[in-house]
Amino acid sequence: MPNEQAWTRVQEELAKRTESGTVMWSTNQFLPSIRKNVVGDVIYSAAVNGRMVVVYEYSYTAYDVDGPTEENDVAIEFVDNMGNLQWQWPKLPYRWQLLDAIRYTLCGANDFLKTFLPQGLPSPQSVQGA
């Protein structure tokens, strides 16, 4: 059984390193064809400590007393150089923050803020006092 506390810390640290630019992600075009129900056909991959890590959002059908509903979740996996699954990381709450950090970084949102608001973001105090 995986150590959930350690894997939560790994996911949190990976998100921080993504935001700081020390872990670089790219979109992987061939992997969606070997994964089912990938949302937007986008799988993100990065080399981390000599291992290939992929992150992606996928949809699935969940069943409850009201019947089937479509749900989304996030998968984090170790894969080999052909994209074959080696091990899927535990499903822990920080997986969504990691996906968000990857998307935020890759779309250049921070650069957009810097150029759109050249004086920087207003402080929380100035917004409250407005």
- State pLDDT tens for residues 31-69: 656 678 888 888 999 999 999 999 999 999 999 899 999
Average pLDDT score over residue span 97-117: 90
Please tell me the predicted confidence (pLDDT) of residue 31: 63
pTM of the model: 0.83
Mean pLDDT of the chain: 87
Sheet holding 67-79, edge to edge: 26-28, 43-48, 51-64, 67-79, 85-88
Find the domain containing 87 and state its range: 4-129
Q: Percent of the chain scored above 90 by pLDDT?
A: 63
Q: What total of structural domains would you count in the chain?
A: 1
Task: Tell me if 39 sits within 8 A of 56, measured CB to CB.
Answer: yes
Residue type for position 57: E
Instruction: Please state, in angstroms and rounded to a whole number, the distance separating the CA atoms of residues 82 and 12.
Output: 27
